[in-house]
Amino acid sequence: MKKDETLTIPSGVEIPFRVVRPGDAPALQRLHARCSERTIYLRFLGPMKKLSDEQARYFASTDGVDHFGLVALNPEDPNEIIAVVRYARKPGNERAEYAALVEDGWQGRGVGAALTHRLIDEARRNRVRSFYALVKGENKRMLNVLRHLDLPEQERVEHGEKMVEIGLSFEDTQRAG
Residue 27 has pLDDT above 90, yes or no: yes
The pLDDT score that the predictor gives to residue 4 is 62
Would the pLDDT of 30 be above 90? yes
Phi and psi for 99 in degrees, rounded to 5? -145, 150
- Distance between CA 60 and CA 105 in Å, rounded? 22
Interval 101-127: pLDDT, tens = 999 999 988 898 899 999 999 999 999
- Alpha carbon distance 86, 69 (integer Å): 4
Residues 69, 56 contacting (CB under 8 angstroms): no
Q: Which residue type does 134 have? A: L
Indicate if the alpha-carbon torsion angle 60, 100, 124, 173 is positive or negative. negative
Checking if the pLDDT of 1 tops 90, the result is no
User: Is residue 39 a contact partner of residue 99, using CB atoms and an 8 Å limit?
Assistant: no
Instruction: Quote the CA–CA distance of 106 and 121 in Å, as a whole number.
Output: 22
Is 80 exceeded by the pLDDT of residue 171? no
| pLDDT tens-digit series, residues 127-155 | 999 998 877 767 777 777 776 777 777 77
Residue 63 has pLDDT above 80, yes or no: yes
| Each residue's pLDDT tens digit, 87-104 | 999 988 899 999 889 999
CA–CA distances in Å: residue 105 to residues 39, 101, 126, 147: 11, 12, 32, 22
